[in-house]
Structure 1
């Protein structure tokens, strides 16, 4: 977001600078302080290093002094701009007003997954192929939804697809929503009358082109939960024992998770609720940045003592998530490793009787 602050009315203009994939400066035309959301959107999208953005603004003139204080929220909405982008920079040389300045802060950090690019000659009819399957013929008049349907028809998997007309080519960017799409088997071929084909790009582009680090994908796979309970040995020393659930899908229902936990010897009764959210929907059947939150309230648990079914109230250790079989983009900020980060928090601490 960009904020204009000043005790006197802000006037003049400012310039925004972005960086492309080669880190060369990319600057806007001078932007008046009164610029509208649409004008700012058009100015940013005119830059080589930015494709599509969404701009919303709010006034920060809390005291109705008309000093021009304003905030713009800029959201990068194209997978071509995916990843942890460098911050925009502002040149405020021509900005006037008492204490007037531009502050740029990052509200949501981009995280990574591979985005691949297919280059198709303009005016060509072409088909996408995956292993031994080929899509219906496509051309530059087709929509992103048509390209997404073509990828699904040959892979059975969903992907986000964007097409941009470049210099003499159609650049098609593909973001697989699932890790098990083998991109090395994904290709394209031109077909003049679709009886003679010329293979394209992936023969020499085996790894595809990664415009940025990438972006977040849908979650998938499975996990188990490990529960620990206190144990008093014959000498009165506090020890612990543990038990583990069966493997559960990341999309497990609250009912199924409840069943899995209550079948453990150490747990008698739990209440579970599930919340799911995502940064935004990208296609009908896919979401970017999906995460699921399980809230687990332990009603009755047991110790590991020899007295069976003896109920206890105590501050149980936090559940441990076994996440080796989880799929999706890692949860750490830079997403440079393939370690998943399930976050376990204690909302209400138990007590010892």
Structure 2
């Protein structure tokens, strides 16, 4: 239940302090994202509008305009613009697609006022970045949408994806940062966003940087991947922002070279010639150097697989050797099938037979 309070406080509140104790809050915020929510299979019948707002402190909070208020607020909130918003309800934030980590969300009601304002000091993008290692550590279980900056090192062909009797278009990106790589699956109209960028840039002999905002972490065939949320996810190509500049500087420090052609990824496998450009993408190390390094990241190692240690249907541990040292590597199904020409499940079953 939302409690009522007295007169409106003339001072603006910051988003971090908002809670359900009153409905006379007054916030000055920038609109970062606006999207419609539709029932499954009914894209022409929106039942709510979701918004992501950010204040001068960089604190983000999600807002929701329910079906009964759509007519009142449709078009009133424009991405990038700043508003003074007053008189709204506040409820607990929950669900598996939370766009911010704020514990509450704003609900627009019939008394809510939205007035255009200025706010040059309010952040314009509001990234909450996660790197590959942090994303993989979730094991595919997270209720929060995430942002990521990645070097696009591979792209798949367009495919049709069927689920629950419906077919949609799908394309995959391979995103790489200084902590590793991860796949990002994009469906529906997002396929056009990717193809339009690739078509407009011709045959790329360099790797673009993509900023993916409001993406969902999923577990697909034993691999942690990213996936777009329809209408919510945002894709930015090579934006000139400090976060991207810092990201590119980090790639250089880790020896990752973006001056190479874009690879093709299909059936979970990345196809690219093992030429000098590929070998410059990541730093090379011996197993001895790999054992002694304290760095986190991706490295190229020349070694021979000498045995299968253990595994399950979607991952295996293999012993590798470069003549001087040995190590245990973990291969997930995509990489295992590419290297060994057999799925992890098939390898584990055959090992148990013998």
TM-score w.r.t. length of structure 2: 0.23
Which structure is larger by alpha-carbon Rg, 1 or 2? Answer: 1
Bigger helix share: 2
TM-score w.r.t. length of structure 1: 0.23
